[in-house]
Amino acid sequence: MSASPSSSLLDIAHLIDESLVDDPADVAFYVVDDPHDVVLGVQRLHDHPCVALAGLTAAPDWWAFGLRVHGTAHFLDGSRGPEPIATTYLLGCDGTSISILRRGAEVTEDLSGAQGRIPDLCRQILASAVEAAS
């Protein structure tokens, strides 16, 4: 890819977020960066990602792997009631990660390296591609 890895990841994460804005399904996706094109593979998940993706290992040519999942935000201060959210998380083979949180029309980017079950699952899946490239 000609752009920096983090800007390319951000562009791809936004593409996934915006393309699936009205889709209630959780999805897994991977990115292959070949010399002539960027290939994006997308798979709907019919179970929790930890169950649906158990045992999955990344192909050696996967440049990035991510998940778009839905949940509910609960505000600990009680300022408002629960709200539906969608999170798009994308992890590159170089360890760069992008997280996009969508609450309705409000979109927040996090480039600081999200922690939790979804990032851990992505790291576990992508580790096989990183090992193969080493």
Model pLDDT for residues 32-71, shown as the tens digit of each residue? 977 788 889 999 999 999 999 999 999 998 999 999 999 9
| Phi-psi region at 95: left, alpha or beta (left = phi > 0; alpha = psi -120 to 50) | left
Mean pLDDT of 22-28: 94
Q: CA-CA distance, 128 to 122, in Å (whole number)?
A: 11
Task: Pick 128 or 85 by higher pLDDT.
Answer: 85
Q: What is the pLDDT of residue 1?
A: 42
Q: Is the pLDDT of residue 132 over 80?
A: no
Q: Where are the domains of the chain?
A: 5-133
pTM: 0.87
3-class DSSP assignment, residue 134 = coil
* Sheet containing 26-33, strands listed edge to edge, beginning at the edge strand earlier in sequence: 38-45, 26-33, 62-73, 83-92, 97-103, 106-110
Structure tokens at 7: 């800007």
* DSSP structural state of residue 55: T
Our CA angle for 125, 72, 100, nearest 5°, is 50
Task: Pick 44 or 8 by higher pLDDT.
Answer: 44
Average pLDDT, the chain: 88
Q: Report yes or no: 129 and 73 within 8 Å, Cβ to Cβ.
A: no
